[in-house]
Amino acid sequence: MPYDLKEIAAISGMPGLYRLVRPTRAGVIIEALNDKGSRSVAAAQNKVSLLQEISIYTQDYDQTVPLTEVFDRIHQQHGAELGLSNKSNDQELVSFMEGIIPDYDRERVYLSDIKKLVQWYNIVSQRLEYQAPATEEDKATENEAAGQAADKAPALPVAADTSPKKKSTKKAAQPAADEAMSTAGIIPATAEDNAAGNPEAQPAKPAKKAPAKKKAE
């Protein structure tokens, strides 16, 4: 991306922009994007708005332009030195916005939003490095180089497995004692299964008595 905005944020109640350093129990440690680069802690109750997640409304109600793309358009047209500030007159700011996003929503994007956009771009363009997006020619060159490297890579020989196959002597796993196989084995019959009138119920056979032993004479 042209400007890496992943860690850049605007924080409510605090002017300017900040780089998020790391979270803490009380909030998040931030570093000001200015000459001093001083660090402080933004409390948890402060609203942190990541620039990467901000977009500009267009006249198409369901379509917005990400701020990363907006900054790229500004850089393409004006470079790092914008020549405007949030204190420029209203007509200059509106003309600037029309040149960047001709179809921006005039009802949902206020003049205060345009001033904020100009202020943020001036900070970002001075503090962050612009990375030119890769062209189609660059992408084609990279893909071609990757393809040539793959062609030149030696193929590893695969040795055939000639060892005799042993028959598996491992028995199929048997269910554990407390594991049901359908309803066999461990689910006891209920009283209803043995109730009278159940055609599947069998009457219990009386146990045979052992023959009495003769007394020795």
Give the C-alpha separation, 193 to 215, whole Å.
46
Task: Taking residues 144-153, report their average pLDDT.
Answer: 57
Do the Cβ atoms of 70 and 100 come closer than 8 Å? yes
The pLDDT, as a whole number, for residue 26 is 86
Residue 20, strand partner residues:
30
Flag whether pLDDT at 217 surpasses 70. no
pLDDT classification of 148: cutoffs 50, 70, 90:
low
User: Which single residue is written with the structure tokens 């056979």?
Assistant: 205
> Other C-beta atoms within 10 Å of 114: how many?
22
Answer whether residue 159 shows pLDDT above 90: no
Q: Which of 13-27, 58-72, 113-127, 145-159 is the least confident region?
A: 145-159
Q: What is the C-alpha R_g of the chain? A: 39
d(CA 42, CA 28): 5
The CA distance from 32 to 17, in Å, is 6
pLDDT for res 59: 96
160-214 pLDDT tens trace = 454 554 444 443 344 443 332 233 333 333 344 344 444 444 444 444 555 555 5
Mean per-residue pLDDT, 107-117: 96
Token couple for 204:
């219990």
pLDDT value, residue 93: 97
Q: Which residues of 3-12 are buried (b: 16+ CB within 10 A; e: fewer)?
A: bebeebbbbe
| pTM of the entire predicted model | 0.61
SS3 content of the chain, % helix, strand, coil (to 5): 30, 20, 55
Give the model's pLDDT for residue 132. 75
Is the pLDDT at 102 greater than 60, yes or no?
yes
Predicted confidence at residue 99, as pLDDT, reads 97
Residues 41-94 pLDDT 10s: 999 889 999 999 999 999 998 999 999 999 999 999 999 999 999 999 999 999
Which pLDDT score, from 0 to 100, does residue 191 have?
42
